Chain A
């Protein structure tokens, strides 16, 4: 069979011979370009000319893990819609408490704040938070870390925490 194989003028095997081999479409068309390309490539240098500090890759893993690790108690994910009312509550307690007590020269009780939040919880928008925290860039916050809403609620119903927030807000305002 092999001995009988005959090629036609255009390089194809005659009709009666089947080898079973095929080539990608346009393979022969591109062979000249590929050859020239190889010649051009061989003229170019190929060394890796970029260097790195010796321990760079060894230290990289820990460095990046440290960066993505959640930092407890520092960042709140305000992008989570369901947390916005709760986060707004915290923001407004500080804002409202600070302004009210400072401007009116009077003390707010924990109960008054809790009642106010109770009544206004549905009207607090994300704009309120942005207004209360004008010095924060929310885009720079790490969206990975979130505080559970239960944690915030628990701390809110603890009256000592509210007293602390009011006290802290008053000190900041006076300073």
Chain B
């Protein structure tokens, strides 16, 4: 288990910054990647967003005051970067964000980095129809097995609110799949 406080100190020291940053990347790249990938869907886009996320982390680490956990702070940056990315794409195409998400999912069938079957594709479609908060909570809880408290720290939403969001998300997805498969 990484000592976050010691690592932040090293990250904020110009002499040890690069070495500590390597440790940080090694420790968190995969978790952040998968979090981003579930939002932006394609590998190439996830790669771009992950790079931007780490660059933002590197630039912003000196101002990180440790009011929250490093892990939560980085997840928040990754989440914001992902959402900003999709919003920007939607603006470029002059469509709303829900349409954009559905378009991203519709590209999955021809995506060489997607290996899902029909039901798994429908699940991704269903997730794309959810409101933003429900989508995030669903991905973090269902796929990443995060605890409500951890999600709460990242999304800065109450645990009660998250539970309700997750419940609605699962119910909507279940209904969506039922409609598509019957």
Residues of A within 8 A of B (CB): 30, 33, 37, 40-41, 43-53, 56-57, 60-61, 63-65, 67-69, 143-144
Contact = CB atoms under 8 A, between A and B. Distances in A.
A49 B115 contact: yes
Contact of A144 (B25, B58, B112, B177): B58
A170 to B, nearest CB: 38
A49 B177 contact: no
Interface in B59-113: 59, 112-113
Contacts of B177: 43-44
Contact of B25 (A40, A48, A60): A60
Interface of B: 18, 21-22, 25-26, 29-30, 33-34, 37-38, 43, 47, 50-51, 54-55, 58-59, 112-117, 119-121, 123-124, 142-143, 163, 166-167, 170-171, 173-174, 177
Contact of B43 (A45, A50, A67, A144): A50
B176 to A, nearest CB: 10
B143 A48 contact: yes
Contacts of B34: 48, 50
A170 B29 CA distance: 49
26 contacts: A37-B166, A37-B167, A41-B170, A43-B174, A43-B177, A44-B173, A44-B174, A45-B119, A49-B114, A49-B121, A50-B38, A51-B112, A51-B114, A52-B33, A53-B113, A56-B47, A57-B33, A60-B50, A61-B25, A61-B26, A64-B55, A65-B21, A65-B22, A67-B55, A68-B55, A144-B58
